[in-house]
Amino acid sequence: MADDRFHVYDTTLRDGAQQEGLNLTVADKLSIARHLDSLGVGFIEGGWPGANPKDTEFFRRAQTELDLKHAQLAAFGATRRAGMKAADDPLVAALRESGAPVVTLVAKSHDRHVELALRTTLDENLAMIRDTVSHLKAEGQRVFLDAEHFFDGFASNPAYALEVLRTAAEAGADVIALCDTNGGMLPDELADVVYEAVQTSARVGIHCHDDTGCAVANTLAAVKAGATHVQGCANGYGERSGNANLFTVVANLQLKRGFDLVPSAALADMTRIAHAITEVTNVTPNSHAPYVGMSAFAHKAGLHASAIKVDPNLYQHIDPAAVGNDMRMLVSDMAGRASVELKGRELGYQLTPEISKELVDRVKDLEAKGYTFEAADASFELLLRDTLKGERRRHFEVESWRVIVERTKGGELVSEATVKLHAKGERIVATGEGNGPVNALDKAVRLGLEKLYPELAEVELIDFKVRILEGTHGTDAVTRVLITTSDATGEWATVGVDENIIDASWQALEQAVTYGLLRAGREP
């Protein structure tokens, strides 16, 4: 178990799940919990048992299906209702019976919320906190308290906000997390309030929302002011602008402030974990996310590239390997030979100056026609291989292809594609049907080649982007198609450009299949 002196507390499964469009099944939650545990967080808040049947089921299944190595599960719930005993409140009973070693109680700390939302007296609110904390504690659970709207409450009635803190601590709550529930705070003023709270001698934690774009900065400021428990969500998930991104918080504290929060090997796996969680949530990963984003260590300008070749540390704030990310060079017409050489080296090729020059010329020429290699690493690598070998070698040659789009009498649109290919001395004719022309072509190609290359069964087209590029210098507008393809171990992107959208798609598709075969170890 993690060191108890400083807590990394994840609330993805409860607060993060409030994000618009996020809908997690119990199986999804179990899977995310495993990923978070592999990162080494100390606490995983699983949800609100009793109030939400899915969360009750999560805690039930977690007992047999989760084998957590680092983390402890926390059940979230409210203090008892006004005017009854904690021991008699069915919602408190659900927390008791959740099987979670930790209960995090949410309580009001803003006087006006007590009166207007809870509709009870300030004294009764304190009694509810005292009674619920001491009851659960006596029943053998560790209790944390989320002081809701703490910062707004402190502004409205500081004496009462601090009284909530003292009451919870005296009743036996181990941590009182101060919540910036509305997310409106800025780091300097937040730090002042945290400092005041720390003076009560209660152990203070911090829970921030990102409505001012300062959730991570606020969390760090709170730690500096004495908080020893940080809450956040994977990938910054959460309602409105999200919660503090736990990955950014952990990386900052560990790499910049010297905290020993998670094992270094786990931190070095953080980029993979962050992306694995996006697979479960089905939320497109933010490529600009600090530390773990695809672009977090990507460089574009040619001037940078030549210096990076000399010393990569001149242009990056940490070694990307510390968080499992990579320095990536974007191949673009802004970049010169240095970045092409570097990109080649990143891909595992040693390029002579002559080859680099030829490659730069080809890239510039193609980019002038509308290609982009920044987002199409696989196309760049194919171009590089062709340049190195001085010829274009492929696993299959294309004789012809054809695609028909038909609107049936019933109003349904169906596409049918026929491809004629030559591979391993065979002539292959294959037909595929799909919901669109590109889908049909993709199916036809893979159907035709699968007998010769069974590994293509694993290859799948996962994303398709189309952009119309304005014509320049009297040329017509062209269409650029970017295709992302995946197999069991990763994904790659290819690009095609043509005046005709189907032909542009075909180019990207052909490269996608070729690259997939190279990944599988098939040399043409």
The CA-atom distances, in angstroms, between 219 and each of 183, 216, 449, 457 are: 11, 5, 54, 46
Task: Tell me which stretch binds Zn ion (CB under 5 A): 8-16, 266-274, 330-338, 376-384.
Answer: 8-16
Q: Which residues on neighbouring strands pair with residue 492, listed in sequence order?
A: 485
Minimum gap (Å) between residue 413 Cβ and Zn ion: 45
CB neighbourhood size of 111 (10 A):
19
Q: What is the DSSP letter of 371?
A: -
> Which residues from 350-379 bind Zn ion, rule CB under 5 A?
none
Tokens of 241: 């602008």
Total interface residues for Zn ion by CB under 5 A:
1
By beta-carbon proximity to Zn ion, the closer residue of 16 and 344 is 16
Separation of alpha carbons 119 and 301, rounded Å: 59
Provide the 3-class DSSP secondary structure of residue 98. coil
Q: Which residue is nearest to Zn ion (CB)?
A: 15
Straight-line distance from the first to the last Cα atom of the chain, in angstroms, rounded to the nearest whole number: 51
15 binds Zn ion, rule: CB under 5 A:
yes
**What is the nearest approach in angstroms of Zn ion to the Cβ of residue 210?**
10
**CB 207, min distance to Zn ion, A:** 6
Site track 419-458 with Zn ion (rule: CB under 5 A), x = hit: ----------------------------------------
For Zn ion, the closer CB: 181 or 494:
181
In whole angstroms, the minimum distance from the beta carbon of 169 to Zn ion comes to 21
CB of 206 to Zn ion, least distance (A): 11
Tokens 């099987």 — which residue? 99
Encoded one letter per residue, x for contact with Zn ion by CB under 5 A and - for no contact, window 254-283 reads ------------------------------
Give per-residue burial for 392-404: e unless 16+ CB within 10 Å, then b: eebbbeeeebebe
Query: Is 414 strand, coil or helix?
Result: strand
Alpha carbon distance 455, 460 (integer Å): 11
Smallest distance from Zn ion to CB 239, Å: 8
E strands present in 222-352: 229-232, 298-299, 328-329
Distances (CA, A) of 196 to 155, 167, 190, 479: 12, 16, 10, 60
Output 5 or 240, the one with its CB closest to Zn ion.
240
Amino acid symbol at 136: L
Q: Which of residues 247 and 401 has its CB atom nearest to Zn ion in the complex?
A: 247
Which of these segments, 10-18, 82-90, 213-221, 376-384, binds Zn ion (CB under 5 A)?
10-18
Closest distance to Zn ion from the beta carbon of 170 (Å): 25
- Measured from the CB atom, the residue of 12 and 439 that comes closer to Zn ion is 12
Regarding 211 and contact with Zn ion (CB under 5 A), the answer is no
Please report which helix (H) or strand (E) contains residue 406, including its range.
strand 397-407
Which residue lies nearer to Zn ion by CB, 238 or 293? 238
Interface with Zn ion by CB under 5 A: which range of 14-22, 62-70, 339-347, 477-485? 14-22
Q: How far is the CB of 151 from Zn ion (least distance, A)?
A: 12
Backbone angles phi, psi at 33, to 5 degrees: -60, -40
Tell me which residues touch Zn ion (CB under 5 A).
15
